[in-house]
Chain A
Amino acid sequence: MSATIQTLEPAAEQPTRLPPQMTSRLDGELLEVSMGPQHPSTHGVFRMNVALEGEIVRKLKPVFGYLHRNHEKIGENTSYLGSMPYTDRLDYFCSMTNNWAYALSVEKLAGIEVPERAEYLRVILAELTRLQNHASLLGFLLSDMGAWGTPLMYAFREREKILDLFESLSGSRMMCDYMRFGGCRVDAGVDWMKLAKKIVDFFPRFLDEFENLIVENEILIARTQEVGKLSAELAINAGITGPMLRACGVNYDIRKVDGYGFYPRFKFRVPLGEHGDTYDRLMMRVLEMRESIGILKQAFEQIPAGPVMNPKVKIRAFRPPVGEAYGRIEGPKGELGFYLISDGGTNPYRYRVRPPSFINLTVLEDLCLGHTVADVMVILGSVDIVMGEVDR
């Protein structure tokens, strides 16, 4: 960490949670601190330039780009199929949903139909991804709060089971590269389905245990309630999506709104928060996991037999017609979209990723102002970022 001292212009009154005598310890001076990029609770190589008055954050500017490799340029220089494994590396926790968003956009671009069984498999894998993403997020968040190790290991124990499922299906735990435009790469066998059902049936027991550990924990409540409040108006205007938006009470779930895949066939509720604070964002994940389990159980019952790949699609030397398309899905972190322009060639003319966790960081400064440095880490943890996606 590096630090410089600069003079303070009379700052506007900002709400603080400390008694007034504690706010003006460094009268007239702001301390500029560079937090990160090498810090365990920045979830990767992420830096924030923070101006502090005593312990209170008065200004905060995020600094990006430490993991930038110009994903979009590489996408424009490779074929449509060639980008598919590279989307895994965006948000490396949720490669299945990244695959789906990209496949969905290409399907829109070229007008491709997807077989029924493949759509069901996609729903199953996306919801399993949501389970393991939210579980590990809660683990990380508690780790940021000082509950060192135990909750994270509990979450990772469950995550490993789901990653084993992914591995037995696609050959890789995290870099799955499973979906193709027009379907999925391989079919899931009977044994796989049995195992998946067993894991999903067991998951609520883990959730109950985890909820008991965290939901009424006094320290957790003290650290999260009324911390990092976000209003619904600002959240909509700043393009916040995913659990972070719904924690503010805005009912917007792309699974319901767009009804992509076969989501209209499933019964599930969209949990909504009330206060938009860190605690609501945290609880949103717990509640969404419960809904995901419901979707998974329905999907296991409904899934039909059949092909998993549209035989008309030639995925190699694939040339979609001239045009453009924007496809989006409800990823675990928010709206994940791909914007593609085709000029009729084998490579996309423009390949753009709409990264949810990057855009969710727009309001990071608004959330952190008036809180202490220790709260910044908790707020950042509740935004749920993955630098592979933020910096692309």
Chain B
Amino acid sequence: MESLEQIKARAEAAVPGAKIDIVANPGPSQQSSLLIDNEHAVAVAKLLRDDPALRFDFCSNVTGVDWLDRTVKKTVKVKKVVDGVEKDVDETTEEKLPGYLEAVYHFYSMTHKHGPVIIRMRTADRADGARLSSLTPIYRSAEFQEREIFDLYGVRFDGHPDLRRILMWDEFVDYPMRKDYREPDDYEYEPTPHDDVLEKAKQHYSPRPQLDGAENITAQQQ
């Protein structure tokens, strides 16, 4: 199989204007990936599938990753004059990186039996309407998996033929796989003998006067 640099060069030559970066993987698995910009993702995927030397015809795994806003601290040694003496002083700068949602695709070739090539796409931000282009028109196997990313991460895929929730029910509001998801406290509430839970649950249950005489029954029992 060609190296990732060669594949990158090939894709950049074939798809003019495509911005492709190599995302290095620091771990021992040797699986680095290509970061592809959203506009040219479909064209690059088509090239990966159809190029006779590459023929990545099998899209194995499609998944989402949620990256929260991060602050990266960098410590740089700076020479400063303190009290008339030059000294090395550590200076810490904080850089705020905005969060994003990511879709990761693992491609293999059934023709040449090589792989994987991993490509990633990133949304601009983590807002509810974050968009990516769908690769389902190129790879049918992405159909359910992209639906799953939409369901659990809230990424909208442009060009997907049937983008609905797949694992959660249609009326569900939030995106449960996001890192900052908190389930509501009355979600599948079951009474337990813990005081704090009962206290918390009271907020969710107001008296129901529409039930005739319900209050009287409880009053009598008390």
Q: Which residues of A contact B (CB under 8 A)?
A: 64-65, 68, 70, 72-73, 108-111, 234, 236-241, 250, 252, 257, 320-326, 328, 335, 337, 339, 341-342, 349-350, 352, 354, 358-359, 361-363, 391-392
The one of A65, A110, A328, A341 in contact with B28, judged by C-beta atoms closer than 8 angstroms, is: A110
Chain A residue with the shortest CB-CB distance to B166: A64
B125 interfacial contact with A, CB 8 Å: no
Q: Can you list 10 A-B pairs, Cβ within 8 angstroms, ordered by A?
A: A65-B169, A68-B168, A111-B29, A239-B140, A320-B27, A323-B28, A324-B27, A339-B106, A354-B63, A392-B167
The one of B28, B29, B63, B144 in contact with A352, judged by C-beta atoms closer than 8 angstroms, is: B63
Q: Bits for B108-148, please: 1 = Cβ < 8 Å to A, else 0.
A: 00100100101000000000000000000001111111000
Q: Which residues of B contact A (CB under 8 A)?
A: 25-29, 31, 57-61, 63, 65, 104, 106, 110, 113, 116, 118, 139-145, 152, 166-169, 176-177
- 7 additional contacts (CB under 8 A) given A236-B57, A325-B27: A109-B28, A110-B28, A111-B27, A241-B60, A252-B113, A323-B26, A391-B167
Q: How many cross-chain pairs have Cβ atoms below 8 Å apart between A and B?
A: 107
The one of B25, B106, B143, B145 in contact with A323, judged by C-beta atoms closer than 8 angstroms, is: B25
The one of A64, A234, A250 in contact with B167, judged by C-beta atoms closer than 8 angstroms, is: A64
> Among B27, B110, B139, B141, which residue has the most Cβ atoms of chain A within 10 A?
B27
B177: chain A residues at CB < 8 Å are 70, 72-73
A351 to chain B, nearest CB (A): 10
Chain B residue with the shortest CB-CB distance to A67: B167
- A354–B144 CA distance with the chains assembled, in angstroms: 12
Contact A322 B26 (CB under 8 A): yes
B99 to chain A, nearest CB (A): 13
Contact A323:B29 (CB < 8 A) given known A234-B140, A328-B60, A362-B140: yes
A320: chain B residues at CB < 8 Å are 27
B128 to chain A, nearest CB (A): 19
- A240–B144 CA distance with the chains assembled, in angstroms: 12
Contact A65:B144 (CB < 8 A) given known A236-B58, A257-B113: no
A321: chain B residues at CB < 8 Å are 26-28
A183 to chain B, nearest CB (A): 18
Contact B166 A65 (CB under 8 A): yes
- A70–B65 CA distance with the chains assembled, in angstroms: 15
A247 to chain B, nearest CB (A): 15
Contact B143 A324 (CB under 8 A): no
The one of B31, B59, B140 in contact with A325, judged by C-beta atoms closer than 8 angstroms, is: B31
Contact A342:B145 (CB < 8 A) given known A238-B140, A326-B61: no
A108: chain B residues at CB < 8 Å are 28-29, 31
B59: chain A residues at CB < 8 Å are 239
B167: chain A residues at CB < 8 Å are 64-65, 68, 70, 391-392
Contact B61 A339 (CB under 8 A): yes
A361: chain B residues at CB < 8 Å are 144
Chain A residue with the shortest CB-CB distance to B139: A237
Closest CB pairs A-B (n = 7): A323-B27, A239-B141, A111-B28, A325-B29, A238-B140, A65-B167, A354-B61
B31: chain A residues at CB < 8 Å are 108, 324-326
Contact B25 A324 (CB under 8 A): yes
B185 to chain A, nearest CB (A): 17
- A115–B167 CA distance with the chains assembled, in angstroms: 39
B118: chain A residues at CB < 8 Å are 326
Chain A residue with the shortest CB-CB distance to B142: A239
Chain A residue with the shortest CB-CB distance to B147: A64
- A354–B61 CA distance with the chains assembled, in angstroms: 6
Contact B60 A335 (CB under 8 A): yes
Chain A residue with the shortest CB-CB distance to B118: A326
Contact A362 B27 (CB under 8 A): no
B140: chain A residues at CB < 8 Å are 234, 237-239, 362-363
A358: chain B residues at CB < 8 Å are 144
B125 to chain A, nearest CB (A): 19
- A324–B63 CA distance with the chains assembled, in angstroms: 13
- A234–B141 CA distance with the chains assembled, in angstroms: 10
A308 to chain B, nearest CB (A): 22
- A391–B166 CA distance with the chains assembled, in angstroms: 9
- A209–B65 CA distance with the chains assembled, in angstroms: 49
A256 to chain B, nearest CB (A): 8
- A84–B160 CA distance with the chains assembled, in angstroms: 34
- A325–B63 CA distance with the chains assembled, in angstroms: 13
A352: chain B residues at CB < 8 Å are 61, 63
Contact A239 B28 (CB under 8 A): no
- A322–B26 CA distance with the chains assembled, in angstroms: 6
Contact A236:B63 (CB < 8 A) given known A64-B167, A65-B167: no
- A239–B115 CA distance with the chains assembled, in angstroms: 14
B117 to chain A, nearest CB (A): 11
B110: chain A residues at CB < 8 Å are 236, 250, 252
Contact A362:B141 (CB < 8 A) given known A324-B29, A326-B106: yes
B28 to chain A, nearest CB (A): 3
Chain A residue with the shortest CB-CB distance to B61: A354
Contact A350 B28 (CB under 8 A): no
Contact B168 A341 (CB under 8 A): no
B28: chain A residues at CB < 8 Å are 108-111, 321, 323
- A321–B166 CA distance with the chains assembled, in angstroms: 33
A328: chain B residues at CB < 8 Å are 60
Contact B29 A239 (CB under 8 A): no
Contact B168 A65 (CB under 8 A): yes
